[in-house]
Amino acid sequence: MIRLENVSKEYSPDSPALINANVDIEKGEFVFLVGQSGSGKSTFIRLLNREEKPTEGKVYVAGKDIVGLSSWKVPFLRRNIGCIFQDYRLLPKRTVSENVAFALEVIGRPRHVIEQQVPAILDLVGLSEKSHRMPDELSGGEQQRVSIARAFVNRPLILLADEPTGNLDPSTAVGIMRLLDRINRTGTTVVMATHDRGIVDTMRRRVIELADGKIIRDQKGGEYR
């Protein structure tokens, strides 16, 4: 599903963000990216949805080389990749259901599809009762659920999560991880950058550890360390 071949990324010549990374991620895998701040986790994620291009090497998503993808095709790539972030990135002037519907409206989905899919996904994330609330009326965990609903409503092949539990207390974080696990079990590949030792150690999934831009560990069923 995802393949990095000799991928390096330099923002400036003296500070490489990623050095010669080689990774293969199968369809349906759940992968944790761990490492200290500045180790290259976010760059790894940004390379997968073509927010960044590598300085060297090739990135394949669903069998396609996305480095040479022309810019007008990038949106079509992103329709297959959901993204969630530590800061949720919800639109403050839209309700919960409008935030989720927005992701479908901007890719031109017909109204009847939107009317059908939005309640279904809100039900999946447990927010049916709060569909008319504004984001600032929700807790952090609920806001992250909205963000997950928005990322998953289009049923993407891959879900990229950059520190999704970073702003949440441990018990709320567990709820979010259960949701991501459930999504992963539908066949969606999940790549999650995290600092949360407890989560990694509990879930025992594949762990890719980065340090100073290099992959120093790639372990199935791994721990945080």
Partner 1 sequence: MIGKIRFLLAETGQNIWRNLALTLASIIVVGASLSLFGSSRLVADAVDNATQRWEGGIEFVVFMKADAEPSQDEAIQTLLTESEGKEIDSWEYVDKAQTFEEFTEFFADDAELLATISVDTMPPSYRIRPTDTDAGAVAALGQTFESRPGVRTVVFASEVIREIQTNADKISRSTLWAGVALILAAVIMILTTLSIAIASRRNEIEIMKLVGASNWFIRIPFMIEGLVQGVIGALIALPGLAFVRTYLIEDFSKSDNLRLLEGFRVTDSEFLVISLTVIAIGTAVATIGSIFAVSRYLDV
Strand order across the beta sheet in which 64-65 lies: 15-25, 2-12, 56-61, 64-65
Confirm or reject binding of residue 111 to partner 1 (CB under 8 A).
yes
- Site pattern 133..152 for partner 1 (x: CB under 8 A): -----------------xx-
Q: Which of 24, 26, 65, 105 binds partner 1 (CB under 8 A)?
A: 105
Interacting residue with partner 1 among 13, 14, 37, 108 (CB under 8 A) = 108
Distance between start and end Cα atoms, the chain: 27
Give SS3 for 166: coil
Binding string, residues 39-78; x marks residues near partner 1 by CB under 8 A: ----------x---------------------xx--xxxx
**H/E stretch holding 61:** strand 56-61
Q: Is the Cα torsion angle 202, 203, 207, 209 positive or negative in sign?
A: negative
Question: In sequence order, what are the beta bridge partners of 47?
Answer: none
- Amino acid (one-letter) located at 182: R
Q: Residue 103 interacts with partner 1 (CB under 8 A)? A: yes
Q: Closer to partner 1 by CB, 34 or 143: give it.
A: 143
Q: 53 or 217: whose CB is closer to partner 1?
A: 53
Of the two residues 102 and 224, which places its CB atom closer to partner 1 in the complex? 102
Q: How many residues bind partner 1 (CB under 8 A)?
A: 25
Strand blocks (E) in the chain: 2-12, 15-25, 30-34, 56-61, 64-65, 81-85, 158-162, 189-193, 206-211, 214-219
User: Which part of the chain contacts partner 1 (CB under 8 A), choosing from 18-26, 109-117, 174-182, 186-194?
Assistant: 109-117
- What is d(CA 103, CA 12) in angstroms, rounded to the nearest whole number? 34
Which range binds partner 1 by CB under 8 A, 19-27, 99-107, 138-146, 195-203?
99-107
Give dist(CA 15, CA 33) in Å, integer. 20
Residues lying near partner 1 in the complex (CB under 8 A) are found at 49, 71-72, 75-80, 83, 89, 91, 102-103, 105-111, 114, 150-151, 154
